[in-house]
Structure 1
Amino acid sequence: MRRAHSYAPETLEALELLGLQVSVERRRRRWTAAELAERAGISVKTLRGVERGEPTVAAGIAFEVATLVGVPLFARDRSLRRERAAHEREVLSLLPARVRQAQEAPDDSF
């Protein structure tokens, strides 16, 4: 039996905000849900999930829909996003490739 996954409140708030932004921008463009869904290559049901902030919608789909309606992701300026991504790749290259579980210190209290 599959258990329901619980999400942090911050996650749910961010998804709700993204969904609201998508919905607002779609309506500003006077696009129907069917029109945006067709542009994104998804079903109207999936689009509704994005707009409702459902956490089960794939991140790639949510980001694609947001991009199509002009919702900025992480930064408005594309060059700034690229710069930030390059910085994170550089930081990641300095960190260990694998993270091992920390070993407990021996108990020397005898």
Structure 2
Amino acid sequence: MSTLNVAERAGISRGLLRRIEAGDPGCAIGTVFEVAAIAGVRLFDADHVAISQAIESNREVMTLLPKSIRAPRAEEVKDDF
């Protein structure tokens, strides 16, 4: 299915579809859910085993990621006026 097809079926512009694909947090959540349904992407799963496996997989990935992206500042505060 082309992006033009998905955008037409959802009643949105291709620009908004691109923003949804890029993960723009400014997109309306209802529109994101509608596009996911049109594209056949399951956002929620009632199967408890699948949910548990996904949670464990996410935990494994999160342990590999750094706790912080920016290093803490090593500067001392100069408060002597």
State the TM bucket, normalised to the shorter chain: 0.5 to 0.7
Alignment correspondent of 1:73: 43
One-letter code of the match for 1:59?
Answer: I
Structure 2: gaps spanning 5 or more residues: 48-81
Over the aligned positions, Cα root-mean-square deviation in angstroms equals: 1.4
Structure 1 residues without counterparts, runs of 5 or longer: 1-30, 78-110
TM-score under structure 1 normalisation? 0.40
Highest relative contact order (Cα 8 Å, sep 6+), 1 or 2? 1
- The secondary structure found in structure 2 opposite 1:73 is coil
Structure 2 CA distance for aligned equivalents of residues 67 and 48 of structure 1? 16
Moved runs in structure 1, 4+ residues, more than 4 A? Answer: none
**Number of matched pairs:** 47
Deviation of the 1:76 alpha carbon: 6.0
TM-score (norm 2): 0.54
CA distance in 2, matches of 1:48, 1:71: 16
- Shift of residue 66, structure 1, vs aligned partner: 0.3
